[in-house]
Amino acid sequence: MNQPLTALDVMHDAPVIPVIVLQDPQDAVPLARALAAGGIRMLEVTLRTPVALECIERIAKEVPEAVAGAGTIRSAADAQAAALAGARFGVSPGYTRSVGKACHDLGMPLLPGVATGSEIMMAQEDGYQQLKFFPALQAGGAPMLKAWQGPFGEVRFCPTGGIHAGNAAEFLSLANVACVGGSWIVPADAIARKDWARIETLAREAKALSR
């Protein structure tokens, strides 16, 4: 039986949570194994393709060394379907009370997406203190996160959106950033070529980032 996770468990496991888009369920297991071998265990499989739930289910069943999560949760139904497929955490591009309540009722940690102070306050009212800052670069980047350290000093963020190997360290150096989300360690061309060795190398590099 899997031990219950918290949002902090998800955020503190590694400096980077990969944002994964899969087109073929056959890629799910070898991709997850490559990431886990590189030290990246918390895997956000986005619900952006028709096969996403099947991919989550395969990872959950066949790759015990990884933790399957679901990204792009936009409704209570998304959260329920993801949990049924075996997702152990959720990530949303924004925040609504119905999504927050669904994940709470399911016992599934959620990193809700926020881009404004009002959205942070709404998520906090519902008990969420670990949040996804999205889209990070477009919504103000590192300067915005620095500005939020005063009024929202207790909140920890996972900035996602425009993060890459060249700027991840800048975000990770901030006191209120626990980890970052990014797709650079799971490039579409590497997945298409089934270049799992490259993905494992990118995962090792991401795991080594300091925060």
Among all residues, which ones are annotated catalytic? 44, 132
State whether the Cα torsion 155-181-203-3 is positive or negative. Answer: positive
Closest-CA residue to 49 (of 77, 74, 20, 14): 20
- Residues facing 130 on adjacent strands: 156
Query: Packing angle between helix 76-85 and helix 52-62, nearest 10 degrees?
Result: 40
Tell me which residue of 115, 124, 150, 182 sits closest to 7, measured CA to CA: 124
CB 185 within 8 A of CB 206: yes
In DSSP notation, 85-126 reads HT---EE-SS--HHHHHHHHHHT--EE-EE-SHHHHHHHHHT
